[in-house]
Structure 1
Amino acid sequence: MHRVVIDGGTGGIGLATARALRARGVPLHLVGRDAGRLETAAAELGETGFPEGDVTDPGLCSRVAQEAGPRLGGLVYAIGTIQLAPAIRVNVVAPSLTRTPLAEAITRNQALASGIAAMHALQRLGEPEDGAALAAFLVSAEASYVTGQGIGVDGGCSSLRAKG
């Protein structure tokens, strides 16, 4: 089973998520700013990997990736009480079904793909470039005043009703 990194895994939603994943047998790698809380959470969950660090530290991500090991299966970023602004802007790109290798089991079935596309206002499935264009914009200087947003790249699926 692949390890899941939980940044902010010492309290609130992060710790609750860690407990839920641990109950399912998922190996964890906790990350947080408070060494004492990390040690307490790790002991409760039976984990040995729990680096102390702040997300504004430029070396934290590479250190966590190295310590967590090569079999990473996910990242939970539960930092609701941490203020990152103005140093770091956080936005979410939320795509609908997109033609990627991950979705190939669905998209290679033309009848199924067409039926799902018909549920979208734009009457098509997403392409990787759709989400990439938004992500590139969000990290650019042009979006320097955009933060805290969850933006759907979903052909109108989440907010508009397709005809028919």
Structure 2
Amino acid sequence: MESATTLSFDHPYGYSVAYEREELQFPVYVVAVVAAGLATAGYKLDNFPLIALSLVAFGYAYHNFPLLETGKPRIGASQYGIFADGLGIISWRSIKQIDIVWAEIRGSGSHELLITLQEPLERALLADWRKRPMHRFLMRLPWTMAGQDVVRMPLDVFDHAAEDIHRTFVRMMNFYRR
């Protein structure tokens, strides 16, 4: 039996989505280069504020490093439930509903998937992947908790359309919950 982490787009038993390959990588690379330039200038000029600013820029690039790993599945679904990188596998029976909403954040809008759970997250998870290695602890995750029983996933950073992801998850939930 194949684990959920190795599912691919063409796998007959599952569906997975990776980060988009086009637009997301550029800002991370630019910030990393700017951070290196600031660090070099700060070191050469013996200027502590420039070094501090470079550390902030390196922190941003480090946090967003997973956006550069475009081939790795970040969210998906299989016969067992919905999986998300850094979260685990949420059982189909533990999901009350799956909604897609339009969220306005700082003047910019994006689609978000809201997965409402019927029970606490600890009981809903078939596999718990929330314990991560120390070097990945501060890196971006493709999910957040919105309240006690709602998992929120921003969808516009993925390589499939938001409506397609939502439709596929709902279709799979309806099929596997029978």
TM-score by length of 2: 0.21
Q: Which one has the bigger strand percentage?
A: 2
TM-score by length of 1: 0.22
